Amino acid sequence: MELYIKYNIDMMCKVLLQQQLDKFKIDCKVTEPGYVRFKENIPMETYNKLIDSLKEFGIEIVDNQKSILVQKIKNTIIEMLYADKGMQSLKISTYLSEKLGESYRTLSQAFSEVTFISIENFIILHKIERVKQLLLTENISLTEISFTMNYSSVAYLSQQFKNITGVTPTAFQKIMKQKRYTES
Amino acid sequence: MRPTPIHIMLADDDEDDRLFFKEAFEEVKIKYKISTFNDGEQLMEHLYDASNPLPDIIFLDLNMPRKSGIECLKEIRNNERLQKISVAIYSTSSSEQDIEDTFVSGANVYIKKPNDFNMLKKILSDVVHINWQYITDGLNKDSFILSL
């Protein structure tokens, strides 16, 4: 049997995070993706236990200023990529610097320093990840994907996919299908 | 974020190639440490020993005596402890079929060995930096496919 599942990563993370925090009886609220507001300070012991329990789910607490800024940039970009079409057509550099209140130059410098890739490449990488997900989980055509993901044409999407992964979207689908078949 | 350095493993029976690879990694901006093995058998023995720390990524030559790259890859993917490690296969073949078969067997990266040293440097740093994104951002490793 095979099941194709659709999920909302944002929602999952928020719920999971809140559950973990509740487990420690910490009075706080997950306000936006990747951001938690505490009502009061918590004891160091609880804090360390919290870190351990979150680690299990691949969640980490970001604790230096530059890393916090980079994480904010990442969250904003990912939020944009998974949002509806209207939001995706915004100019990302302007949107980022307005939302985070720093010049794009400052943002992109901090970003490359911490992540070893540029903001532009990060966006492309994540866009292609989203395209991969769509190619594998939903029965939609490449044309529809290119429309949903705000690409100017299918040809451009195919080309960018090939540039990033080294294979065409069709070859990717074929490989993943065979892989699933041999694994099951 | 995750503490560096990242740990790279490399298995190749050709001593010159091992040297080339090690030197080529100097372009990589992330702090790394590298362990090399003379063939697949030696690599697998090391990996099966649970007291040895696991690497973040393994580079495998396709053609090696005793145990080939593909054999190692299949063993890695069938072992619960090892299956999450990124695997990059490199070979002199650029046939579409070879590339697809390698991915179907579970490789994440396929490298067509370049003749030019600068090209090798560029390729390796790309692989390591992209793999780093998969580590730090928890991207889906199952669909991580990169052919260079």
List average pLDDT for each run of 10 residues in chain A, which is 184 residues long. Answer: 76 83 81 74 79 81 79 87 65 87 91 89 90 85 88 93 93 90 76
Residues of chain B with pLDDT under 50: 1
Measured between CB atoms, does B97 come within 8 Å of chain A? Answer: no
Give the closest-approach CA distance of B144 to chain A in angstroms: 8
Measured between CB atoms, does A120 come within 8 Å of chain B? Answer: no
Measured between CB atoms, does A137 come within 8 Å of chain B? Answer: no
CA distance linking residue A46 with residue A36, whole number of Å: 16
> Topology of A119-184 in CATH?
Arc Repressor Mutant, subunit A (1.10.10)
- Which CATH superfamily, name and number, covers B6-147? Response regulator (3.40.50.2300)
- Residue B112's H or E segment, with its range, is strand B109-112
With CB atoms and an 8 Å threshold, state whether B140 touches A178. Answer: no
pLDDT digits (tens, 9 = 90+) for A111-161: 998 888 899 999 999 999 989 989 988 678 899 999 888 888 999 999 999
Q: What is the structure's pLDDT at B48?
A: 95
For chain B, which residues make up each domain, given as ranges? 6-147
pTM: 0.77
Measured between CB atoms, does B137 come within 8 Å of chain A? Answer: yes
Give the closest-approach CA distance of A178 to chain B in angstroms: 6
Task: Tell me what ipTM this predicted complex has.
Answer: 0.82
Q: What is the structure's pLDDT at B92?
A: 86
For chain A, which residues make up each domain, given as ranges? 9-55, 63-116, 119-184
Give the closest-approach CA distance of B140 to chain A in angstroms: 8
Give backbone dihedrals phi and psi of A121, rounded to 5 degrees, phi first.
Answer: -65, -35
* 3-state percent breakdown (helix, strand, coil) of chain A, nearest 5: 65, 5, 30
Which residues on chain B are in Cβ contact (under 8 Å) with A126? 137
Give the count of beta carbons closer than 10 Å to the beta carbon of residue A156: 11
What are the angstrom distances between the C-alpha of B120 and each of A28, B51, B76, B116? 50, 32, 25, 6
CA distance linking residue A15 with residue A13, whole number of Å: 6
